[in-house]
Structure 1
């Protein structure tokens, strides 16, 4: 008999979409996979060289539970530059990707029954980890405000049980970037009503002009003592498989996280740590600039193709590398003809009939959306989006 907590969550919706795409491809179908939250890219030379050097030095032993001191020092410098605030090594924990940073934060902050505000659509892991930690997700609808939460809606949702809010910008899945006024308003609400801010900026390296990404701490330094920053190098360096991220926050929280991590995974992979340290110390921006250019070009190509959609608005795609399609009008038209359509139906039809794998908005708490990744190569992206556009324009 399984533990009761296993009934509280299910496998990631994005992971399920990837699995379905692979199964369809394995059956012989020509599939363009737009599901994965990663960029197709070679390794950064600085990361490769750092890893090889670490292997050649026979570095195979434990590091400090929350990461190499030298790496945390380098990260402190990076975060200080990002936030315009000084950071020290004991305010940083290196983790096995951003997921562990988020899990550590939930376990360190939440008591049973504590409520956490989560704007919808949301990355599927946010509510799952909160539930595992004994907390209660409180969802804030953003569809009618361009996927940015209204401060009045947030304030109305705060109760005596509110312990935190998750702020994810640039947002997964919508690609929305929160403006400075919104960030300042969230910070002031957290101060006034005494709750934590979990600030996930994993897609911060990809803000598309004229939009810019700002750290909430640089906008509202007064909220620093109640803010936890979650980030990783999975997106910014295309290192999804390396599982290397970090959590930054007050020393008391990081101390609790260190104790927790010592009983879960211990330190992150030592080779990955040294590879990242070498990259940060090299100070070479060329690879990241090339990656940003690759994403920018893919976005431009994708928007030009998606502009031909007739019943679906062209997505804003302000940041990150996702197009998020609002299917509201398409569903309304289909319902008028007696054909009920939800995102799962549409995603399945796109996969089986058009050979395009996407992620249903239901994975993100949204009954009228579909997420498309444009982190793949341009040729595949072009083919996949043209198939998708043709399919949606003839949907009936």
Structure 2
């Protein structure tokens, strides 16, 4: 992509574009067509300034005041925030009791006459869970039966670790095409977090609404758009494959070290870039039945005593979880996880 960005700069291609992008929509439509095994056209794609803008577009275009949106817990913090900004109400559906995979009966039980959509995030941030085909098919059928939209966030789709496989929900349930919005970005798959380039795919009338909305928020960065187009047309996957190998090696190293935890179960880390620790046993040991201990305390102690930065699950609606990123240098990762393991094993 760097070559494409440099060529755009040297070519003085620095003017406004169409509000939802223009040059890369066709190439992105080809990408989504391959991933969903369905034909997509350029007018079903909107290029955005990263996946966050795509998610906010989805919320603002779909949700009216009083509408409810189902969000499995633990959740990425942007999901409920975007619903609230749009005037809606996030309805949290617990998944901790089912290995961080939402059970369709639990989702169904949370549906009311005001429910508008379900958020589906796989591979999941923060838990690293990858939803299997049966789960995706069941969620899609539930959405069809209850006339709900699906907001499908697959930003970590490039990182599903064998034997787990990432599936687009529309490759499993093509019949949900008319009620599904696909959100993705290149921040993770190409390690381009600062370039802010992503997209949303959906029905034409929805994309028209996104265009009307994005007209007043600005088109995506033109240099990033052209760099993305260059990458999509080149077909060169060497960097992506190298990055995936690095992430896989980091996961293997991390799981080896974390397997030595005594009071905390070793995470599965099925996909994405995160280890997610279940601190329930540690919580019981530290606080008994008092309930005044949560993951914030662990995160603070790890930072103070081990020099390791983690993210408390309270940010994700889970006071008993802890997220660790393994998308870093292997030597630093190993050093940090050994310190973390030693600190947690000595917890009192």
TM-score, scaled to structure 1: 0.87
Residue of 30, 43, 51 corresponding to 1:90: 43
Q: Name the CA shift for 1:339/1:170 in 2 (closer, same or farther; >3 Å).
A: closer
Residue of 41, 53, 57 corresponding to 1:100: 53
Structure 2 distance, partners of 1:56, 1:367, is: 50
Structure 1 distance, partners of 2:154, 2:116, is: 20
Aligned position for 1:358: 310
Structure 1 distance, partners of 2:236, 2:291, is: 54
Aligned position for 1:346: 298
Residue of 57, 63, 72 corresponding to 2:11: 57
8 Å Cα contact 1:169/1:201 also seen in 2 = yes
Residue of 91, 95, 101 corresponding to 1:148: 101
Q: Structure 2: state its 5+ residue gaps.
A: none
Per-residue CA distance 1:148-190 (angstroms, 9 max, x = gap): 0111101101111000000000000000000100100000000
Matched, 1:311 2:252: no
Structure 2 distance, partners of 1:249, 1:386, is: 44
Aligned position for 1:13: none
Residue of 229, 248, 257 corresponding to 1:277: 229
8 Å Cα contact 1:334/1:340 also seen in 2 = no
Per-residue CA distance 1:185-221 (angstroms, 9 max, x = gap): 0000000000100000000000000000000000000
Residue of 196, 201, 211 corresponding to 1:258: 211
Structure 2 distance, partners of 1:339, 1:235, is: 36
Structural mapping, 1:15-30, within 5 Å? none
8 Å Cα contact 1:324/1:371 also seen in 2 = yes
Aligned position for 1:390: 342
TM-score, scaled to structure 2: 0.99
Structure 2 distance, partners of 1:114, 1:190, is: 15
Residue of 164, 175, 180 corresponding to 1:222: 175
Matched, 1:200 2:153: yes
Structure 1 distance, partners of 2:175, 2:228, is: 30
Aligned position for 1:374: 326
Structure 2 distance, partners of 1:146, 1:337, is: 23
Q: Structure 1: state its 5+ residue gaps.
A: 1-46
Q: Name the CA shift for 1:88/1:326 in 2 (closer, same or farther; >3 Å).
A: same
C-alpha displacement of 1:353:
1.2
Aligned position for 1:133: 86
Q: Name the CA shift for 1:395/1:255 in 2 (closer, same or farther; >3 Å).
A: same
C-alpha displacement of 1:340:
4.2
- Which structure's relative contact order is higher, taking Cα pairs within 8 Å and 6+ residues apart? 1
Structure 1 distance, partners of 2:76, 2:29, is: 27
Structure 2 distance, partners of 1:274, 1:114, is: 37
Give the SS at the match of 2:109. Answer: helix
8 Å Cα contact 1:331/1:340 also seen in 2 = no
Give the SS at the match of 2:298. Answer: helix
Structure 2 distance, partners of 1:353, 1:367, is: 20
Aligned position for 1:174: 127
Give the SS at the match of 1:164. Answer: strand
Structure 2 distance, partners of 1:103, 1:187, is: 22
Aligned position for 1:298: 250
8 Å Cα contact 1:61/1:270 also seen in 2 = yes
Residue of 273, 288, 292 corresponding to 2:240: 288
Structure 1 distance, partners of 2:291, 2:161, is: 37
Superposed CA RMSD in Å reads 1.0
Residue of 48, 60, 64 corresponding to 2:2: 48
Give the SS at the match of 1:347. Answer: helix
Residue of 108, 113, 116 corresponding to 1:163: 116
Matched, 1:209 2:184: no
Give the SS at the match of 2:65. Answer: coil
Q: Name the CA shift for 1:339/1:114 in 2 (closer, same or farther; >3 Å).
A: closer
Structure 2 distance, partners of 1:54, 1:111, is: 40
Q: Following superposition, which runs of at least 4 residues in structure 1 exceed 6 angstroms of deviation?
A: none
Structure 1 distance, partners of 2:291, 2:210, is: 50
